[in-house]
Amino acid sequence: MKTQGLLSALVIGASLVLAAVAFALVGGLLRGANDSGPEAMLARVQRDLDAQAGRIAAVEQAIERLQHDIDGINERLEVAATAPPPAAPPVSAALPTDQFGGTAPLPESEDLVEAMQLAKGRFNQGIIRPTPVVLRELIGEPRDSYSDTCQPVTNPRLLRLLETGQIGAFKVTMVRPALDSLQAIMDLLNRDEPQIYAALGTAGALCARHVRGAPNTVSSHAWGMAIDLTLTGKLDQMGDAATQFGLVVLAEYFNDAGWFWGAGYGREDSMHFEPGEALLRQWAAEGSL
């Protein structure tokens, strides 16, 4: 579009030059009619024509040079468009695994205090993030003590609910109904947005630990009730009140399924998704928990 606009501008410029030639000719004729005889008038017209011809030639040369430059730019753009993107190292390769072999997430931080206004205004409508109090009520405590790092789940009831599954290109451990719901979401995403689906990876799910900087707050990951997702192997930067576009698209699917998007936290965490409280209570009423 930019190159077409440039050519249009050049054509307009050339038209203005030609209009100036016509104006000069008419002006010369009028001056000649008043100042002297036909021979003098024709001489002035010829001089004007020669001068305008020189200007037109200069404009044509400039157009040729610009066209050459535009052709070169277009060639470079075509090469750039067909070149494969640089391969991003898989995030999961640098992450620990949980006690069942699934990918474990990175530590959360209480220091992240930004909130994304987009998420607050458009997403998570009617979906309440489950607190640790609710999770303890429904399932119990994952283990007796916590640290900043992942530790094994010891609660027998929770252990019976946990399942490790292959979701697309990654493997995670979550409670069984959450894993089934996640699979259903991914199936819809693969149908509607195959490019985003193909770029999707994980930064982990199950991890029994507290939130870093808040030792009295246990992470939802400790119950296998949350998952962190990546795009093209890249983590979204937490706490910057912004997000990757693909995660915004993905949030629509999760919200439709009753999941909460972490971009709406008081500490913005756009890669984080977890089932909402209503969905958890539904699973409990159905006997899935």
pLDDT in tens, 92-143: 455 667 666 676 665 664 444 444 566 667 889 999 999 999 999 999 999 9
User: Distance between CA 272 and CA 241 in Å, rounded?
Assistant: 14
Asked if 193 and 127 touch (Cβ cutoff 8 Å), the reply is no
pTM above threshold 0.95: no
Q: What's the pLDDT score for residue 152?
A: 93
Structural domain span for residue 6? 2-82
Give the 3-state secondary structure of residue 200.
strand
Q: What's the pLDDT score for residue 190?
A: 94
Q: Whose CA is closest to 186, among 205, 168, 166?
A: 168
Does residue 219 come out as left (phi exceeding 0), alpha (psi in the -120 to 50 range) or beta? beta
102 and 10 in a common domain: no
225 and 137 in a common domain: yes
- Where a domain ends, among 56, 82, 108? 82
CA 139 from centroid of its chain's CA atoms: 35
Q: What's the pLDDT score for residue 20?
A: 55
Residue reference for tokens 């249009």? 8
256 and 153 in a common domain: yes
CATH of the domain at 145: 3.30.1380
Q: What's the pLDDT score for residue 141?
A: 95
Q: Whose CA is closest to 176, among 112, 224, 216, 219?
A: 224
Which stretches of the chain score pLDDT less than 50? 1-3, 6-7, 10-11, 17, 33, 83-92, 109-115
207 and 67 in a common domain: no
Asked if 195 and 246 touch (Cβ cutoff 8 Å), the reply is no
Q: What's the pLDDT score for residue 168?
A: 86
Q: How many domains does the chain have?
A: 2
Which residues lie closer than 8 Å to 208 by C-beta, 6 or more apart?
142, 143, 146, 150, 151, 152, 153, 221, 222
Q: What's the pLDDT score for residue 40?
A: 75
236 and 256 in a common domain: yes
195 and 169 in a common domain: yes
103 and 65 in a common domain: no
User: Distance between CA 265 and CA 129 in Å, rounded?
Assistant: 9
259 and 119 in a common domain: yes
Asked if 162 and 274 touch (Cβ cutoff 8 Å), the reply is no
Q: What's the pLDDT score for residue 268?
A: 66
138 and 269 in a common domain: yes
146 and 282 in a common domain: yes
User: Distance between CA 154 and CA 144 in Å, rounded?
Assistant: 8
Which residues lie closer than 8 Å to 180 by C-beta, 6 or more apart?
none
Asked if 150 and 207 touch (Cβ cutoff 8 Å), the reply is yes
- Where a domain ends, among 82, 105, 140? 82
65 and 118 in a common domain: no
111 and 64 in a common domain: no
- Where a domain ends, among 57, 82, 107? 82
